[in-house]
Structure 1
């Protein structure tokens, strides 16, 4: 009986991606960009640009580097690069002088890192498939190498950053996550001066764990308190305790470290991504908004307990059932308490009006919609963000994840 012959030879695409992996492992961060440009040239690409999202989520800024085409920063809301970024899908732009300018989203998992742009004389299905895989590899490399250098962080800054904001940005998880059943996205303002607001999440089996916090005060004091609160939350989450126990653990940490006159407001949530069951503990936060069919239908009320650090009684956990397509918007009080020019607070009613107007334009993604809401709110407040203002949105779609869908 003859043995089956298995062809294990490398195809062109495998060789290119494999060579990039082999060479990147020991390269210093500053040589990653030239390596990417060299590999793109192997498939006929030229004028390669790596565009990274700035901290304010307003522009895509070019990463400087040898052999990279360093273009101008491009507006996320009004550019072909921004379209690829927001939709998480490639954009092809035929050029007047011939050729095609390709904009490929750089996705680390489901979080958008930025966009890779390059020009080709012609584009076919094989090239599209190879470029999509190349962009995924480039995104992973940029995220991995960023742990060893400040180069990528500095490229994303468009104005000076406070020490408290530096601490907060290093504390955050990725700003967005998408799996088939659920998506989350978050926005922090003011991006370069944020201090006490933060959020955290983790998907463990079928349970999405979420915390949104607001530490009292401003500057380093608030950033330090937020760091302790998030650290205590993560520790509690990783020993698999209930929402009520997480609250108690965070409460003890803040009280012991800062004394009885300091506090952190918080919302703690569990969402079962298979069933849509949500558990909620509210410790002094504005109630989340339930959005159904593109419209705010109600607040997700719960028995409000004392803020973290005040030694409140064991909180009551409120349960809610989400329907497929539902969105839940969490926000800190800086959103609604900002005073307008005539000294009137912005208020929840105006917030709800801005949320409802999201339906007037087609939805690209949860992150794109939340970013649009954040910028709309800021414009409605006259550009003011005198206090930390955080938005965190969840979209539950339901369905089982019995297998992993991999695109061709």
Structure 2
């Protein structure tokens, strides 16, 4: 046991002390010395959730059945030939996969490598604040300026806690404009917001950024949900005087009781998957944030039961156009019904893959989808 602790301590210390842009190289040195692993590669998931990109160059992994994708999707070790693939994940945020070869024959040593992959995930999140290397390597092409702003605004793309797991995605990933989402967990509640700033390009991104930061400011000041909407409404109006506005849906999930408090200020839709059936939650729609000088917002409630899955989608999902017309409610509810066995990030990725197949290419209109599972420990 002492030797195991020594190896893990050396790996953790090496990662913590490595220069921000040399984290994987320093880790490779440790793995070669301590585990006789001579081949190390980090595959990062790209912005579209469609490719795993090797940090050091080489072939991009896009085939769903590839061992790297299986490790990413199932969040488990995958042995393939002489290599082992391990998820690189921190608090549910899936960054990618670590490939190690030759894979140790001993299961205990592979379990240590899995722990080290988790250490790597923690360190990558820290290192990204000091270098662009990992951010740039996770792109298959250049982001537009508006998309750069939107992705930097996000709290992450997936998250897990004792009572929930969630995931979200923006499309078109490399050119998104006004759509965004936000979340935070505090005091037994999960706060979620889906937003859509009107307009195109950086105008829409700036508008959504203003609304997001205003809502965060109000939430962090301890204001009630309706008052958070009111403050953001005033912030957007004072800047644009009604010439620009933001559609938003704000949700507050009590992780102990499953009660959801909601403020609807625009177009995002809410669906609940429960025991194989899809329920479209009917909310009274209020005015978008910033449309008028003073707007009142009401808080509505609905109840989740343990095991429920919540989907929030923007109008870009519903209105995605294919040869047969718009994707629409029917196709969406049919697909949501099929996602019950998938983890939230898999469900989100599969939905967007289905949409791309429907439109025969990338989505053109801004779209956002957020998926949340509520599974309280007591259940």
When the two structures are superposed, what TM-score results if normalisation uses the length of structure 2? 0.95
Q: Is the 8 A contact 1:168 1:198 kept in 2?
A: yes
Which of 360, 373, 376 is the matching residue for 1:395? 373
Q: Is the 8 A contact 2:177 2:204 kept in 1?
A: yes
Q: Quick one: distance in 2 between partners of 1:379 and 1:76? A: 16
The equivalent residue for 2:193 is 211
Question: Offset of 1:384 from its aligned partner?
Answer: 4.5
Cα separation, partners in 2 of 1:364 and 1:87, compared to 1, 3 Å: farther
Segment drifting more, 271-280 vs 121-130: 121-130
Which of 59, 62, 65 is the matching residue for 1:78? 65
Question: Offset of 1:230 from its aligned partner?
Answer: 0.6
Stretches of structure 1 lacking an aligned partner (at least 5 in a row): 1-9, 65-69, 402-408
Segment drifting more, 242-251 vs 124-133: 124-133
The equivalent residue for 2:48 is 56
Q: Quick one: distance in 2 between partners of 1:11 and 1:35? A: 23
Q: Is the 8 A contact 2:146 2:205 kept in 1?
A: yes
Question: Offset of 1:48 from its aligned partner?
Answer: 0.9
Cα separation, partners in 2 of 1:162 and 1:108, compared to 1, 3 Å: same
- What whole-Å deviation, never above 9, does each CA across 1:256-289 have from its counterpart, x for those lacking one? 1122121100000100111111111111124301
The equivalent residue for 1:369 is 347
Q: Quick one: distance in 2 between partners of 1:317 and 1:25? A: 45
Q: Is the 8 A contact 1:265 1:284 kept in 2?
A: yes
The equivalent residue for 2:270 is 288
Which of 344, 351, 358 is the matching residue for 2:339? 358
Q: When the two structures are aligned, how many residues end up with a matched partner? A: 377
Segment drifting more, 379-388 vs 169-178: 379-388
Segment drifting more, 148-157 vs 281-290: 281-290
Cα separation, partners in 2 of 1:19 and 1:122, compared to 1, 3 Å: closer
Which of 204, 209, 212 is the matching residue for 1:222? 204
Asked if 1:322 is matched to 2:313, the reply is no
The equivalent residue for 1:254 is 236
Q: Is the 8 A contact 1:49 1:71 kept in 2?
A: no
The equivalent residue for 2:135 is 153
Q: Quick one: distance in 2 between partners of 1:201 and 1:161? A: 23
Task: Name the SS of the counterpart of 1:251 in structure 2.
Answer: helix
Task: Name the SS of the counterpart of 1:358 in structure 2.
Answer: coil
Point out 4+ residue stretches in structure 1 off by more than 6 angstroms. Answer: none
Larger Rg: 1
Task: Name the SS of the counterpart of 2:135 in structure 1.
Answer: helix
Q: Quick one: distance in 2 between partners of 1:322 and 1:399? A: 15
The equivalent residue for 1:340 is 322
Question: Offset of 1:76 from its aligned partner?
Answer: 6.0
Which of 87, 90, 107 is the matching residue for 2:77? 90
Q: Quick one: distance in 2 between partners of 1:24 and 1:185? A: 27
Q: Quick one: distance in 2 between partners of 1:156 and 1:286? A: 29
Stretches of structure 2 lacking an aligned partner (at least 5 in a row): none
Which of 265, 280, 296 is the matching residue for 1:299? 280
Q: Is the 8 A contact 1:63 1:152 kept in 2?
A: yes
Task: Name the SS of the counterpart of 1:52 in structure 2.
Answer: strand
When the two structures are superposed, what TM-score results if normalisation uses the length of structure 1? 0.88
Cα separation, partners in 2 of 1:167 and 1:74, compared to 1, 3 Å: same
Q: Quick one: distance in 1 between partners of 2:318 and 2:372? A: 20
Question: Offset of 1:374 from its aligned partner?
Answer: 1.4
Task: Name the SS of the counterpart of 1:290 in structure 2.
Answer: strand
Q: Quick one: distance in 2 between partners of 1:350 and 1:213? A: 23
RMSD of the alignment, in Å? 1.8
Q: Quick one: distance in 1 between partners of 2:297 and 2:308? A: 25
Q: Is the 8 A contact 1:60 1:76 kept in 2?
A: no
Q: Quick one: distance in 1 between partners of 2:229 and 2:49? A: 31
- What whole-Å deviation, never above 9, does each CA across 1:61-80 have from its counterpart, x for those lacking one? 0012xxxxx54111262211
